[in-house]
Amino acid sequence: MKLTAADDTLRVDMTYDDIVNIIKSLLICVDVDEEWYCRTYPDVGAAISAGDWSSAKAHFIENGYFEGRLPFQVKVDDEWYVRAYGDVAQGIKSGVLLSPQDHFDRHGYDEGRFPFAGPRMGRQ
């Protein structure tokens, strides 16, 4: 990592590995539900049993986050979710989906959907 300053401008030049290492250092603070993670990602549970990983948290920090895995189950506000996502409400009504939680766990997170109402970004 290289810091330079010129014309009252601070510039940071970083490699991909620098960025990955910064992310990993932040991921240390994330709580990982060991049981849920191993149950949800059985390949990780098997790898831990085989001694390839020391824990679910170690896997999450080194690989899981970068593979798009969640560290714990995110609880969905069912009422809000179906109001916000009409296609999910329709999927549940037609029997294609079991519940808002089921949709979020199987598809919603990967699609970038929010599990509950939160602060709005930008101008109000």
Per-residue pLDDT reduced to its tens digit, 23-72: 999 999 999 999 999 999 999 999 999 999 999 999 999 999 999 999 99
For position 80, what pLDDT does the model report? 95
Q: Please determine, for residue 103, whether its predicted confidence score (pLDDT) is greater than 80.
A: yes
Closest CA to 65 of 97, 114, 23: 23
Read off the pTM: 0.78
Q: Are 91 and 85 in contact (CB under 8 A)?
A: no
